[in-house]
Structure 1
Amino acid sequence: MEPEPDLIKMRDEIFRKIGRNLLNFQKIEFMLKHLITYGRISGYMSELKENQERRAATVHKQTMGNLVGQFIDNTLLGLDDSSRLITEPKEPYLSFSFTVSADADFYERKKQGLKSLVDDRNDMIHHLLPRFNSDSIESCLEIGKYLDEQRERLIPEYDHLQSLIKSLNINIEFLKSEEGIKQVSSQLELSFLQNSPLVLLLLNISIQQPRSDGWTLLSNAGQQIRHILPEELVRLKSGYRCKNIKELLKASELFDINEEPTDKGGVRVLYRPKPELGYGAFNRVLNSLLVTSRRTARADGWSLLNTAGQEIEQFLAEDLALVKEKWGYVSLKEFIMESGLFDVVEEQVDKNNICELFRPKAEFVPH
């Protein structure tokens, strides 16, 4: 017996809706792969192409569930740690990331929406056809309603990913443009300069040996440079493209520069790290911790972290706030641990309480 025309029409409509939803799921999967692959670019300039090809090959093999997890971590939370910290770059190093800044409510909505999307996709692929009776009008109506509701759930996520793709592609196209290449090259040169041996030594001298007003004599710094890094001074023009150390200070964009008259009618050049960058604040907090640890240490060498925290909050609250802002530290304890200069332990005070202790690492203690 031939099926009724209405049933044939409804059955064909079901298959059309299945194809429609499946195509949308495939588009979403493609967009996730694109965002994960090109939302993070990092490496030495000579390695970038190989790095991206390797990343694309890895992402291409991921399941929908894994893609959603990576997207949530990398794009919504920015947790991807594939960009390594470069302390002594051998050549220009580029790091680009595309992330979404949003509040906790937005993050939770997207997280749940995308995970529901994975469940919907898996249900349609693996469980829909076994429960679909193609000879039943009632089943056609039920499955048709299910597929329409599924489409309504995926459209907001589809539109959101599509908008992110558009934004990412705009950024990528800019980076490829003449103006983008010019800006990237300028930033790479500045980063390379700021991490160069000469600039780091100038920074260290200004932090460790300032006058009481916070300024450092450039002539004194120059004498130390000639003693410590004479080979870098020889490269000042060829390697740094600067005529003198003062020009290097300006080019690095890390320092304030000032001049003051001398008793003999001349001028002396002074410099200091720009206060808003937080280098001076970082050093003052660090020195305070070292002083407190020496002054309050118990017989076993440990000091109460709470005591150090109270003193810093009393005398260096603004410095600590600036350090947290510029370096992203959540607490004084995190700052201490990340500095690499101290050991930190917990000690049981009583059944319900513990205290945190710190001390300078053995290699930094004078003998």
Structure 2
Amino acid sequence: MTPLSDEALPARQREVQRLLGRCLLRLQQYERLIKAIVAHHELTGPPHALETIRAARIADSARKTLGTLIGDLLGSYLAPNEIGDTPKDLPDCPAEPVMVSFRIGLSLSDADFARLKNELRELVALRNDLVHHFIDRHDLWSVDGCLRASDALVAAYSRIDQYFEQLRGWAEHMEQTRRLAAEFAQSDAFRDLIVNGIAPDSTVFWPVAGIVSALREAAGELAVDGWASIAEAGRWIAERFPEQLPAKYGCSSWRQVVHESRIFDLRYFEINGQRSARYREKEGTANTG
């Protein structure tokens, strides 16, 4: 055993304090970064409420412990096999015609997910040991005890740093994905999705389609006894919204748009000896777009 020295012991104790502080600072960096990932990797809600929902997620993450944050991360940002297309807790908002949802995550094999789950639990145990039990496990009133404590802290920091670099890699992946999403948000495809209700695979979500909104406006201006001429509406829209054409929505005529949308009633009238196709909005659909 190393002889106790009044001069050597304080220096060793200060070294233990320095090494412990280094570990705790790295753990705090880890916690700050994991809070950011948990708060920002997914978002779901109506467009007008997204910023409020995001702020609530940030505030909620800020209050959580490391163990809880890791539990949130597992199965959401980190998930076994394929990540589902729909968030687990998609809110039921029947009054909202449009909901926006995105999730960024890493899909892992079952074996990798199980291994990572165990490793992250070990990190939580290591953190708790350093914060709550370190002084009980080491004799900090002897030089030998301080030396062993220093060795343990060097090993602990190396492990924590590995976890931090791993987490930083995930954060960089998330940020890169968010940049790509932001680029998509500036694209014509995104505008078609949000403004016109046309998905990248050309599927049309008719209740929010731009051409349906245009038909509503035309009907409001042109309807007689509640019914508007489809031909007149087509000309009216072409003058005011030239980008809203049937072909954009995979249709060959305005009558096909009216039929495919399922938003309007279609009826034929005899007017001045000629057959005229007219439309009106179905009851109960006025607030779906």
Q: What's the TM-score bracket when you normalise by the shorter of the two chains?
A: 0.5 to 0.7
Matches within 5 A, 1:1-367: 3-77=5-79, 78=83, 80-84=87-91, 90-91=97-98, 93-176=99-182, 180-182=185-187, 184-189=190-195, 191=197, 194-197=204-207, 237=237, 242-244=244-246, 246-249=247-250
Unaligned 5+ segments in structure 2 are 210-226, 257-289
SS in 2 for 1:95: strand
Unaligned 5+ segments in structure 1 are 200-229, 251-256, 258-268, 270-367
Q: Which has the higher contact order (CA 8 A, sep 6+)?
A: 2
In structure 2, the CA distance between the partners of 1:240 and 1:87, relative to structure 1 (3 Å rule), is farther
- Taking structure 2 as the reference length, what is the TM-score of the superposition? 0.64
**1:284-326 CA distance string (max 9 Å, x none):** xxxxxxxxxxxxxxxxxxxxxxxxxxxxxxxxxxxxxxxxxxx
Quick check: 1:41–1:95 contact (8 Å CA) kept in 2?
A: yes
- Taking structure 1 as the reference length, what is the TM-score of the superposition? 0.52
**1:83-107 CA distance string (max 9 Å, x none):** 347889524x322211102212221
Mapped partners of 1:249, 1:240: distance in 2: 16
In structure 2, the CA distance between the partners of 1:188 and 1:128, relative to structure 1 (3 Å rule), is same
Which letter does structure 2 place at the counterpart of 1:98? Answer: I
Q: Which residue of 2 aligns with 1:327?
A: none
**1:198-221 CA distance string (max 9 Å, x none):** 99xxxxxxxxxxxxxxxxxxxxxx
Q: For the aligned residues, what is the CA RMSD?
A: 3.5
How far apart are residue 65 of structure 1 and its match? 0.8
SS in 2 for 1:107: helix
How far apart are residue 239 of structure 1 and its match? 8.8
Identical-residue share of aligned pairs (%): 18
Quick check: 1:240–1:248 contact (8 Å CA) kept in 2?
A: no
SS in 1 for 2:90: coil
